[in-house]
Each structure stands twice: as C-alpha cells, then as structure tokens.
Amino acid sequence: MLVDSHCHLDFPDFAEELDAVVERARQAGVGRMVTICTYVSRFDRIRAIAERYDDVYCTLGVHPHQAAEEFEHATEERLLELAGHPKVIGIGESGLDYFYDKSPRDLQQESFRRHLRVCRQTGLPIVIHTRDADEDTMRIVREETAGGPPVKGLLHCFSSGRQLAEDALDYGLSISLSGIVTFKKSEDLRAIVRDVPMDRILVETDAPYLAPVPYRGKRNEPAYVAHTAACVAEVKGVSPEELARRTTENFFRLFDRAGSTAQAAA
C-alpha cells in the first residue's frame, strides 16, 4: 500500500474524471490520498471530495500565494472552527514562497504563524510549502513553538538544499518527496535523500503538477506516486515493497487522525 500525501483533487484538471482518477490510484496500490487546501474560502468543495471517497482525506489552509487574498477570511478562529471536521487530518499547505512573491512577505509570514498556532492548539500536523525561504521558514517554526512542544509536520515537495533538510530533521519534521526526485537533473536531491532517515520519508504527487518520469510533462495524478516511490526505493537501497511499507507507516504516524496502517488494510 502507498499513500499520496499531497495532491489537489479539487483542481479543474480533474473535474471531468475524478472518479476515474481515484480508481486508477486504487488500482496502482494507493490506499490513501490527501487532497490539499490552498484557499480556506474554497474549503467546502475540498471537504466534499474527502467526504465522497472513503480513502481520501484533506487538509485546511492557505497557500502562501494566496496569503494576501485570504488574509481577512482565514483567521485563526476560522481555521480552528473548520479543523474539527473528522476528514481534516492536517493544516496547510502554508509557508513561504519568496520565489514568486505573489503575496507580500509580511502577510505570508503572519499567515504561516496563524497556521502554526492552530497546529499547536489542535495537535494536527503542519504541511509546509517553502521556496527560496529556507531560513525564515525554520526561524518562524522555532519562534512559534518556543517554550512548548514542537509541532508535527513535513516539508512537502522537498527540493531545497541539504541545510534545510538537516534543520527540519533536527527539529523533528518529516520530508515528503514528489516526482522531482525522479528527474534526470535531481542528482543533488537524491544525494540528500540517501541521508534522510527512513522513518522521516513520505511520498506525494502534488498532482496535477510535477509528474514523475516516465510521465514528466504530462498531467500528474495520484496513481503516479508509485513511480516516485520506486525511485526513492532505489535511492535508499530497499525494495519497493519495503519503501511502501515504511512510508505508509510514517504517514499514519504523522497524520494520526487518518487512522492506522492496520485499519487501512482491513
């Protein structure tokens, strides 16, 4: 069994064939999918997808690109109100994106802080998006959890440098790998992955984006997480079956509201 820990099933790319996309994932051995929230104002349709399929869960949050647009709507109180739904298993994706800078950095940072505070209050893990903002990302995580226990969470679609990986692992975060790890020019990323402990690795698609080899350049979908997992297994020197078992265990340990591996297999 594999888990696609990060996909966007609410995006228009899947609107015409969502049932077929979910079924292809199941046929590929994907036992759980997490459809990720990027707009709190559109959470109703994300929640509806999670409610429609037993094996699909969701998160709640605002992508840093939308931090300005959603700032007045996505208050800490609103996030706490919506986070109680049983299909919500994580908070995010939230974080910082200084590459595109689609929202002012001060609003990105305050939005990220809100999400971290909600994680502390709910015990749900944070799904972190970070691009060209390594130092600020970890600084804010540490500041928001100073004097208390660390938050659970992961760096999604990890493609940054070794220092961020080491800082995140030292803090206690996990690392989720997308199709980027399969790309020919991702030698540096694969070198980092070799050193990431097996109990901290998850796999994802970020569908409809970043399809892995051999589908690179095409629309991605949850079924293709199997190709990413196969690449990670080769990098780690383990069998695909072992990689699937370990990453699935890691998923359920981190996203414990989703149940357990035993429950999923029942």
pLDDT digits (tens, 9 = 90+) for 203-247: 999 999 999 999 999 999 999 999 999 999 999 999 999 999 999
Give helix 225-236 / helix 240-254 axis angle, nearest 10°: 110
Count the residues in the chain.
266
Q: Which residues contact 120 (CB under 8 A, 6 or more apart)?
A: 144, 145, 148, 151
Q: Identify the pLDDT of residue 262.
A: 66
Torsion 182-213-130-42 (CA) sign:
negative
Low-confidence residues of the chain: pLDDT under 70:
262, 265-266
DSSP state of 178: -
Q: Do 256 and 215 meet the contact criterion of CB atoms below 8 Å apart?
A: no
Q: Domain coordinates of the chain in residue numbers?
A: 2-261
Q: Which residues contact 100 (CB under 8 A, 6 or more apart)?
A: 65, 131
Q: Identify the pLDDT of residue 266.
A: 63
Coil, helix or strand for 33?
A: strand
Q: Do 194 and 236 meet the contact criterion of CB atoms below 8 Å apart?
A: yes
2-261: CATH superfamily: Metal-dependent hydrolases (3.20.20.140)
Residue 174's identity, in one-letter code, is: S
Q: Identify the pLDDT of residue 131.
A: 98
Residue 68's identity, in one-letter code, is: A
Q: CA-to-CA distance for 111 and 75, rounded, in angstroms?
A: 9
